[in-house]
């Protein structure tokens, strides 16, 4: 019981260890590495053990495999961590421009925008994001995003009776072009049964009771002096309420001014939203270049390119649509297009 409590406490303290030392320490633990390539997966355990290559099961099909059962039974102890390695064609890497106000809650902001930024929702994909180290210190926030389809990972992990990790993923740095993506997370301990948790809870309760008893036996005048100092601090803070209220009012006025300025300009998110509403189901947008000011370039595939041009010309968002090239794609029975259009400035008072 005491050993379990100390192990849990050690894991909490381990989060304070620098990432480089933590990765070296975790590498010595009982880790199973999953290599995902196409529709096949292989599993490596500690000390060079390997399960071979296995086909991913179909959705809803049994994932039982005698070879994998022998592989898991041959491990010195139940796996404590999973390490997933994905080839470059198994994930999506993008650079984003986000409002700097989103920096404290970047993961939540990116997760909310995920259906607009990628073809997936947060239930269909696993994602990780972070701030680019070489980004500017003012203006929009430069961030990176890595997205992995969840279905194939779930099928691979089902072979060893494990589940996908939760969003957002913890990635130390974004992978470079062509570089594999490595993910690592700890498996919930199988020994963490209700009975074991109850023992740990009782141990924690005893520790709290002992601490309360020690505090009660402590010199009472010291506690009284501490409360008096706290009361003096509250009195000082109360005297600053009026000044803080004035600062709040000034900040609110500035935010209102910035909000009006923002609504008076065409934003990148508004542009993407406009495209999402105007492109039909027969058009696939593969690349979008936006200079952030007046011009956007669209590259993709469409079965009805002429209708696409007409739609953009009649849009209130675009003007001066210029056709770069139409190339027939026989494989998809559609046309590859390259269009350039100017962004029409919003009318005066728009968004008010």
Contact 283, 300 (CB under 8 A): yes
Q: Grade residue 69 by pLDDT with cuts at 50, 70 and 90.
A: confident
Task: Between 272 and 148, name the one with better pLDDT.
Answer: 148
Contact 36, 180 (CB under 8 A): no
Residue 347 has pLDDT above 50, yes or no: no
Contact 42, 52 (CB under 8 A): yes
pLDDT of residue 271: 74
Domains 18-187 and 268-343 share a fold: no
Separation CA 44–CA 85 (nearest Å)? 11
Q: Where are the domains of the chain?
A: 18-187, 268-343
In this structure, the chain runs to a length of 352
Residue 293 has pLDDT above 80, yes or no: no
**Position of tokens 């073809």?**
119
Sheet holding 318-329, edge to edge: 283-290, 295-302, 334-343, 318-329
Contact 310, 334 (CB under 8 A): no
Fold of domain 18-187: Nucleotidyltransferase; domain 5 (3.30.420)
Residue 311 has pLDDT above 60, yes or no: yes
Separation CA 255–CA 230 (nearest Å)? 34
Task: Between 108 and 333, name the one with better pLDDT.
Answer: 108
Would you state the structure tokens that stand for residue 347, as one six-digit string? 């009318």
Question: pTM here?
Answer: 0.44
Measured CA angle at 341 (ends 338, 343), to 5 deg: 145
Distance of CA 43 to the CA centre of its chain: 25
Domain 268-343, CATH: 3.30.1360.100
SS3 303: coil
Task: Between 221 and 101, name the one with better pLDDT.
Answer: 101
Task: Between 317 and 116, name the one with better pLDDT.
Answer: 116
pLDDT of residue 67: 65
Q: What does residue 39 show for φ and ψ, rounded to 5 degrees?
A: -100, 25
Task: Between 252 and 10, name the one with better pLDDT.
Answer: 252
SS3 126: strand
Percent of the chain, pLDDT > 70?
Answer: 80
Would you state the structure tokens that stand for residue 16, as one six-digit string? 């304070």
Q: Grade residue 250 by pLDDT with cuts at 50, 70 and 90.
A: very high
Separation CA 128–CA 146 (nearest Å)? 5
Residue 290 has pLDDT above 70, yes or no: yes
Q: What is the DSSP letter of 39?
A: T
Dihedral of CA atoms 110, 115, 121, 127 in degrees, nearest 10, equals: -30
2-55 residue pLDDT tens: 555 666 666 666 556 565 555 554 445 578 888 888 888 888 887 677 777 888
Dihedral of CA atoms 61, 64, 65, 71 in degrees, nearest 10, equals: 130
Percent of the chain, pLDDT > 90?
Answer: 1
Q: What does residue 21 show for φ and ψ, rounded to 5 degrees?
A: -70, -35
pLDDT of residue 163: 84
136-191 residue pLDDT tens: 778 888 899 999 998 888 888 888 888 888 888 888 888 888 888 888 888 764 34
């Amino acid at each position: 019981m005491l050993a379990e409590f100390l192990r849990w406490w050690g894991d909490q303290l381990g989060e304070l260890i620098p990432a480089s030392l933590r990765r070296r320490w975790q590498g010595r633990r009982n880790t199973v590495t999953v290599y995902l390539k196409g529709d096949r997966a292989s599993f490596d355990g500690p000390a060079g053990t390997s399960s071979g290559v296995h086909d991913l099961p179909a959705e809803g099909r049994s994932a039982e495999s005698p070879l994998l059962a022998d592989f898991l039974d041959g491990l010195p102890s139940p796996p404590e961590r999973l390490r997933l390695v994905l080839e470059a064609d198994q994930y999506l890497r993008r650079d984003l421009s986000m409002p700097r106000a989103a920096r404290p809650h970047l993961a939540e902001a990116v997760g909310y925008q995920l259906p607009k930024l990628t073809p997936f929702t947060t239930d269909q994909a696993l994602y990780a994001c972070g701030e680019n180290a070489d980004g500017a210190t003012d203006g929009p926030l430069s961030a990176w995003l890595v997205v992995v389809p969840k279905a194939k990972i779930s099928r691979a992990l089902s072979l060893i009776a494990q589940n996908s990790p939760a969003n957002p993923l913890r990635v130390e740095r974004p992978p470079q072009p062509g570089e594999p993506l490595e993910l690592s997370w700890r498996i919930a301990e199988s020994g963490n049964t209700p009975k074991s948790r109850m023992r740990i809870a009782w141990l924690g309760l005893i520790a709290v009771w002992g601490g309360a008893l020690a505090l009660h036996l402590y010199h009472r005048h010291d506690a009284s002096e501490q409360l008096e100092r706290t009361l003096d601090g509250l009195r000082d803070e109360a005297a600053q309420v009026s000044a803080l209220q004035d600062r709040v009012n000034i900040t609110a006025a500035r935010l209102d001014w910035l909000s009006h300025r923002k609504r008076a300009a065409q934003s990148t998110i508004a542009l993407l939203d406009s495209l999402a509403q105007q492109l039909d189901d027969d058009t696939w947008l593969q690349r979008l270049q936006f200079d952030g000011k007046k011009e956007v370039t669209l590259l993709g595939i469409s079965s009805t390119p002429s209708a696409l041009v007409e739609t953009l010309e009649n849009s209130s968002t675009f003007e001066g649509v210029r056709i770069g090239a139409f190339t027939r794609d026989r494989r998809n029975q559609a046309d590859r297009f390259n269009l350039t259009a100017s962004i029409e400035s919003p009318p005066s008072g728009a968004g008010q």
